[in-house]
Amino acid sequence: MHSGDKQAGPEAARAEWRAYWPLTLAALIGYSTIGLQSYGIGPFVPHLEKAFGWTRTDVMIGLSLSNAVGVFLNILIGMIVDRFGPRRVALTGLLVKTGSFALLATATGTLLNWSLLWVVLAVGVVLVQSTVWTSAVAARFDHSRGLAMAVALSGTPITAAVVPVLATWLIGDYGWRVGFVGVAAAWIVVTLPVVFLWFKDGRDPAQPLHAAATGPVSGLTLREGLRTAAFWRLLVAFGAFSLYNMAMSANLVPLLGETGLSEMQAARIASVMGLVGIVARLTVGFLLDRFSGPLIGGLTQFLPVIACGILLLHDPGVLLLTVAVALFGVATGAEIDVALYLATRHFGLRSFAALFGAVITFGAVNAAIGPIVAGWLHDRSGNYDGLLMTVMVAMTVGALAMATMGRPKHDWRAAG
């Protein structure tokens, strides 16, 4: 990058924000929907076990199944976004995702019924995945892309902060069936108007998104991207994160409850993960525009190893429990931000959604494994120690993969 480009950088970044902040805000609000099932199922777990006589594994079958469906759909959705743009996909996804989450209230107690409900929800999950929202943001932002993507992806920490407390309150006052419907209703009322009004890419549906937004687009083809070492390291790192994230987010409230906390105490401490995640996501987004992405990613991905070590202590106390959850929040807030940012820098924007869709697909495999393994380990031992040790190993491997990605071989920012 020439010195003139560097001098123009701050002003260019401000110009991007002046022009496109509504798009980023709409992406933030819309993306929050993706975390409803992972952060919301925890408070329902003991009530479903009591209502139907289920084991922890039985409850988690649904979450694992919904993630498994993504294995077959994520790349396809990414290609659809690359070809037709994200707006139509996003609006459809909001309706399908919230509607299917509300349908969980109709569970009859049979595992077949429970599984089918989660298959429907899985379609909603892939329709609101990160590439739907970040494709539009990445096309509009260059000089401030890290921060812009961080803001857009701050929806999930908001979900992590709000949903456990909202669901616990609804369940306590109105029952678990109203809890599912109430959470879904709250989300669609907030998200749909904002996304409808502001999530626009200003393109002809017959043109690829990035060509309409920025002219001819640079980057690797899908085939070229799959051959890079950076792709495979990102695959391993994001796969480890997905295993951790889905296993821990779904089980955090019951895990904390088993330390002797009340349901509302556990929900409130769990919400710290979301509150810290918002700050971490914005901070990491700012740092990504200035420092080494692989180093930032490696450090933040190692934090859950420390957090799990704290949770393995005998009677850690409320303060240490809160610290552990806060460390989870930093990692959760940072990871998707780092991964998406590095993907745009290593691969360019030409096949960004399809390439990152492949990364998400591997993540979906691990995300499908995580909840059911967590439930099985708990049913087998009566505690979460086995899960915590599994997460420690996975995240150590993921941190090493992220930290060794290296610099991009091409400066797609300068080329595009």
Report the alpha-carbon distance of residue 211 to residue 190 in Å, rounded.
Answer: 31
Burial class (CB in 10 A: 0-12, 13-18, 19+), 185: middle
- Contact (CB, 8 A) for 329 and 157: yes
Residue 382 DSSP one-character state? S
Instruction: Please tell me the predicted confidence (pLDDT) of residue 76.
Output: 78
pLDDT score for 213:
45
Q: Which two tokens stand for residue 224?
A: 């070229």
**Which own/partner pairs from 47-56 qualify as long-range (CB within 8 Å, at least 24 positions apart)?**
47/171, 47/176, 48/107, 48/176, 51/109, 51/176, 52/107, 52/109, 55/375, 55/379, 56/254, 56/374, 56/375, 56/378, 56/379
pLDDT of res. 412: 61
Query: Which residues of the chain register pLDDT less than 70?
Result: 1-9, 70, 74, 201-217, 349, 411-416
Q: What is the pLDDT of residues 340-371, one digit of tens each?
A: 788 878 887 677 777 877 887 788 788 888 88
β-pair partners for 219? 348
Helices (H), 289-316: 293-311
Task: Please report where in the chains the tokens 């892939």 appear, as a residue.
Answer: 126
C-alpha to C-alpha distance for 264 and 393, rounded to whole angstroms: 31
- Determine phi and psi for 236, rounding to 5 degrees: -65, -45
Place of tokens 């069936």: 177
Identity at 166, one-letter amino acid code: L
DSSP letter at 109?
S
Q: What is the pLDDT of residue 201?
A: 64
The pLDDT of residue 293 is 82
Element (H, E) at 120: helix 111-127
Task: Give strand pairing partners of 348.
Answer: 219
CA distance 333 to 153: 8
* Alpha helical stretches, state H, 199-292: 209-214, 222-226, 229-257, 263-288
Given the structure tokens 């992405």, which residue do they identify?
A: 293
Domains of the chain with bracketed CATH:
18-415 (1.20.1250.20)
* pTM passes above 0.85: no
Token pair 């495979």 is found at 232
First-to-last alpha carbon distance for the chain, in angstroms, is 12
Contact, 406 vs 297, CB < 8 A? no
Confidence (pLDDT) at 178: 97
Q: What distance in Å separates the CA atoms of residue 384 and residue 371, rounded to the nearest whole number? A: 12
State how far the Cα of 170 lies from the Cα of 82, in Å rounded to an integer. Answer: 39
Displacement of CA 309 from its chain's centroid (Å): 23
Give the three-state DSSP class for 230. helix
Number of H helices, E strands in the chain: 19, 0
What per-residue confidence (pLDDT) applies to 411? 66
Nearest to 33 by CA among 149, 176, 122, 129: 129
Q: What is residue 339's predicted lDDT score, i.e. its pLDDT?
A: 84
